[in-house]
Amino acid sequence: MELDEKKYLYLLFILPIVVLVFLINLYWKRRKQREFGDLEMVKKLSPESSVFKPVLKLVLLLLALVGIIFGLVNPKIGTKMETVKREGIDIVFAMDVSKSMLAEDVAPNRLDKSKQIVSQIINQLGSDRIGIVAYAGSAFPVLPITTDYSVAKMFLQSMNTEMVSSQGTSLDEAIKLSSTYFDDKSKTSKLLILISDGEDHSEGAESAAEEANKLGMKIITIGIGTEKGGTIPLKRNGIVESFQRDNNNQVVITKLNEAGLIAIAKATKGGYINGNNTKEVLEYIKNTLDKIQKTEFEATEMADFQSQFQWFLAFAFVLLFLDIFLLERKTSWVNKLNLFNENK
């Protein structure tokens, strides 16, 4: 169940206010009765007055208010899971989250730039399935293949350089893990979009790409960074305290290595593009996707989310209708039972 308008839940604070007003009114009536005369004598003057009915009317009013409030909130219920036919391709985004991606030679930094690019690529997708892999010295599965783009964006924004403990950049591990996302038996086109600054600290990236090509994968590489390079700032609470240094205590200058990324793309007859211009990247990806054959596949989705507000409003109006005809005098058959020992 999901709530369509959660803001109206604040109206539930009206309920204790109504109860407080009722108690104040009850107290005021009792005080006026005492001023008029002895309470026992006053009761004899109005023998049909019920002690229970005002409380019952209050309960009906409170339940009616709850019904109206939940009607405004409009709960929705997904009635069933259904399998739908969609047409597209399987895409895995492999995101470099090594320390070098914190370099600010592209604004705001390489990692945030990568997130922006992937997010906008997702925005222009249609019915494709997507997955996300993070890698540094090793690769880490972030999100399995899914058609839920909103969840994918949520996981994407949570990615950071601390999520993979082993540092460095291992492109071959990223390619190997990404290949496990695809179903070998499926005829769906398989695309890996690998985003990195290209500083590969491992060996065998091209070999891994060649193996991926045998599985029918195409790889597009996106280079993030500049050839001039930049330092890696170490920040605390958003303030730069120092810069990353090597074993010789020299400040590290990390540079974009396009050659390695181009070689990986060529191994799968894919393509490479520099990621510093987001508009050019989006156009390139769009043109590439248009040329890839789309395949029909089945996706399980929650369907038929239906509004339930009408039931709550109907419940509230029935109670209000009953409240109109519910008088504060005693009911004859209940009076005979003498449940509250009112008859003496």
Return the pLDDT at 303: 54
What value does the mean pLDDT take over residues 172-201? 88
* pLDDT grade for 132, boundaries at 50, 70 and 90: very high
**Which residues, other chains included, contact 260 with Cβ-Cβ below 8 Å and sequence gap of 6+?**
171, 198, 200, 205
Token pair in block for residue 15: 């309920």
* Look-up of token digits 């211009």: 277
pLDDT value of residue 194: 96
Strand partners, 94: 133, 194
- Rounded to an integer, what distance in angstroms lies between the CA atom of residue 179 and that of residue 141? 11
- Listing DSSP states for 243-256 in one string gives E-B-TTSPBPEE--
pLDDT at 328: 60
Strand order in the sheet with 75-88: 2-3, 75-88, 295-307
pLDDT of amino acid 1: 61
Report pLDDT digits (tens) over 155-183: 999 999 888 877 778 899 999 999 999 98
Across all residues in the chain, what is the average pLDDT? Answer: 83
Token pair 């009112």: residue: 342
What amino acid is encoded at 69 in this protein? I
Question: Which position has the higher pLDDT, 77 or 287?
Answer: 287
pLDDT more than 70, % of the chain: 82
In the block, which residue shows the tokens 């491992």? 202
Which residues have CB under 8 Å from 98's CB, separation 6+? 135, 136, 137, 161, 164, 167, 168, 169, 199
pLDDT at 331: 52
Q: Is the peptide bond before 108 cis (omega within 30 degrees of 0)?
A: yes
Q: What is the average per-residue pLDDT within 39-68?
A: 73
Each domain of the chain, given as residue ranges in start order, spans: 2-74+308-337, 86-300
Residue 283 has pLDDT above 80, yes or no: yes
Q: For the chain, what percentages of helix, strand and coil (3-state, to nearest 5) are there?
A: 45, 25, 30
Which whole number is the average pLDDT over 294-305? 63
Residue 155 in contact with residue 244, Cβ under 8 Å? no
pLDDT at residue 321 greater than cutoff 80? yes
pLDDT for 292: 87
Instruction: Report the percent of the chain where pLDDT is more than 90.
Output: 40
Q: What is the pTM of this model?
A: 0.62
Domain 86-300 = CATH 1.10.357.10:
no
Residue 3: predicted pLDDT? 73
Query: Which tens digit of pLDDT belongs to each residue from 117-130?
Result: 999 999 999 888 99
Specify the pLDDT at position 80: 56
Q: Tens digit of pLDDT for each residue in 230-275?
A: 998 888 877 878 888 878 888 889 899 999 999 999 999 999 999 9
Q: What is the DSSP letter of 293?
A: P
Q: Is the pLDDT of residue 300 over 70?
A: no
Under 8 Å between Cβ of 226 and 154: no
Q: Return the bridge partners of 104, or none.
A: none
pLDDT band per the 50, 70, 90 thresholds, residue 310: confident
Cβ-proximal residues to 46 (8 Å cutoff; 6+ apart), any chain: none
pLDDT of residue 333: 44
Pairing label, strands 253-254, 230-231: antiparallel
At 329, which helix (H) or strand (E)?
A: none
pLDDT value at 96 more than 60: yes
Question: How long a stretch of residues is the chain?
Answer: 344
Range list of β-strands (E), the chain: 2-3, 75-88, 90-96, 129-135, 139-146, 190-196, 217-223, 230-231, 233-236, 239-243, 253-254, 271-274, 295-307
What pLDDT, on a 0 to 100 scale, did the predictor assign at position 166?
76
Contact partners, residue 152, CB within 8 Å, separation at least 6: 122, 130, 132, 143, 146
Query: What's the rounded Cα separation, in Å, for the pair 199 and 62?
Result: 66
pLDDT at 224 over 60: yes
- Span between the terminal Cα atoms of the chain, in Å: 53
Q: Which of 229, 169, 161 is nearest to 194 (CA)?
A: 169
Token pair 């010789």 is found at: 248
